């Protein structure tokens, strides 16, 4: 009888320990970022590089360089589909003098507001 109780206890332990979850944090870590230091027309690329580090994505839009800092927290539970529980995006566009001309902070709550992340592949004609 004692062996049976110990077996049940061990089995319960393994079953319930498998129900735990994990959260993966990917991308830029915004916890240490000082957004108040960013000012349009004042803050330069060099200042941002020193404070924030390298951006996640660098792009060119309307002949101006755009830096994007991206972060996502994804919750994994057993065999269920992973769920994004937090997302932060910082978009910075620079003028000809390498100063911020456009600044936008977005979160997971903003996804339904004229903003959509497309996870499909991007096809470029010149690339085969």
Q: What is the pLDDT of residues 58-75, one digit of tens each?
A: 998 888 999 999 999 999
Task: Give the pairing of strands 83-94 and 57-61.
Answer: unpaired
Q: What is the pLDDT of residue 110?
A: 78
Q: What 3-state class would DSSP assign to 8? A: helix
Decide if 85 contacts 74 (C-beta within 8 A).
yes
Cα separation, 64 vs 9, in Å, equals 63
pLDDT under 50: residue ranges of the chain: none
């Amino acid at each position: 009888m004692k062996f049976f109780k110990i077996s049940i206890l061990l089995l319960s332990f393994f079953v319930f320990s498998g129900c735990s979850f994990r959260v993966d944090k990917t991308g830029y870590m915004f916890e240490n970022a000082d957004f108040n230091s960013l000012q349009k027309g004042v803050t330069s690329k060099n200042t941002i590089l020193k404070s924030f580090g390298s951006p996640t994505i660098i792009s060119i839009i309307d002949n101006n360089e755009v830096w994007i800092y991206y972060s996502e927290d994804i919750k994994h539970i057993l065999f269920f589909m992973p769920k994004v529980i937090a997302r932060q995006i910082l978009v910075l566009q620079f003028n000809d003098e390498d100063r911020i001309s456009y600044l936008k902070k977005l979160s997971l709550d903003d996804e339904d507001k004229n903003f959509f992340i497309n996870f499909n592949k991007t096809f470029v004609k010149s690339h085969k």
